[in-house]
């Protein structure tokens, strides 16, 4: 049986070169995330800092996951990761060169093409909520390859567990009432993981 969804590891590696590389990547990611949140904030008509403030400010959590998808003899019969949206605010993903990530767009699954040295950015559920639905959390999935091992390294940029997230007060009014409940991020995750209505 092909077991990709069990092959998910959270890592905490503290040694030499690896630590230096991850620290450098982490510094780079913080800048990328700040820029993305600033652009999204301005795009929503907020001040540049307001979206980041609302999602956790400097307490934002960066969670790295490593997905490992070994070759699969029947790639048409299984998925690496079934279709889902990420619970994060944003996800920044680095894949290896083996094609596999797909996004749901206009009623179809489309390949997210591998581009060397590019980062893949997903809008996650928390930005959908904060924007009161104006930004959509991306529905995506991953496929597997018959001959090659695929890997991906997503970083989930998340609010702290006890941080409350709901539609930004400046983005709701009588014409645009709140479409989402405000709740602690940990409660949101609990409901989603246990398939309890939000
Ligand atoms: O492997 C991929 O490209 C996507 C993985 C993913 O969607 C996830 O881990 O949430
Ligand atoms: Fe995902």
Q: What ipTM describes this predicted complex?
A: 0.99
Is there a catalytic annotation at residue 53? no
Per DSSP, the three-state class of 125 is helix
Q: What are residue 38's phi and psi, to 5 degrees?
A: -65, -45
- 68 CA distance to ligand 1 middle (Å): 10
- Burial pattern 167-182, b for ≥16 Cβ within 10 A else e, equals bbeebeeeeeebebee
Is there a catalytic annotation at residue 163? no
- 16 CA distance to ligand 1 middle (Å): 27
Rounded to two decimals, what is the model's pTM? Answer: 0.91
Q: Tens digit of pLDDT per residue, the chain (198 long)?
A: 444 444 444 555 556 777 787 888 889 999 999 999 999 999 999 999 999 999 999 999 999 999 999 999 999 999 999 999 999 999 999 999 999 999 999 999 999 999 999 999 999 999 999 999 999 999 999 999 999 999 999 999 999 999 999 999 999 999 999 999 999 999 999 999 999 999
Tokens 């390859």, located at residue: 145
Longest dimension (CA), the chain: 55
Number of continuous H segments (helices) and E segments (strands) in the chain:
4, 11
- Closest atom, ligand 1, to C-alpha of 69: 1
Q: Taking a C-beta distance cutoff of 8 angstroms, is the pair 134, 171 a contact?
A: yes
- Angle of CA points 180, 181, 186, to nearest 5°: 115
Which residues are in the CB-under-5-Å shell of ion ligand 2?
Answer: 86
């Amino acid at each position: 049986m092909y077991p990709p969804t069990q092959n998910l590891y959270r890592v905490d590696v503290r040694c030499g070169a690896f630590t230096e590389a991850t620290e450098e990547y982490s510094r780079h990611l913080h800048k990328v995330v700040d820029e993305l949140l600033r652009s999204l904030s301005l795009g929503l008509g907020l001040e540049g800092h307001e979206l980041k403030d609302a999602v956790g400010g400097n307490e934002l959590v960066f969670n790295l996951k490593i997905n490992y998808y070994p070759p699969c003899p029947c790639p048409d019969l299984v998925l690496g990761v079934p279709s889902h949206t990420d619970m994060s605010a944003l996800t920044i993903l680095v894949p290896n060169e083996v094609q596999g990530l797909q996004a749901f767009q206009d009623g179809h699954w489309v390949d997210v093409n591998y581009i060397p040295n590019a980062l893949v950015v997903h809008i996650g559920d928390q930005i959908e909520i904060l924007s009161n639905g104006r930004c959509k959390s991306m529905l995506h999935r991953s496929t597997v390859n018959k001959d090659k091992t695929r890997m991906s390294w997503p970083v989930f940029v998340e609010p702290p567990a006890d941080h409350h997230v709901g539609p930004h007060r400046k983005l709701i009014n009588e014409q645009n009432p709140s479409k989402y409940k405000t709740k602690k991020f940990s409660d949101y995750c609990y409901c989603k993981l246990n398939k309890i209505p939000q």
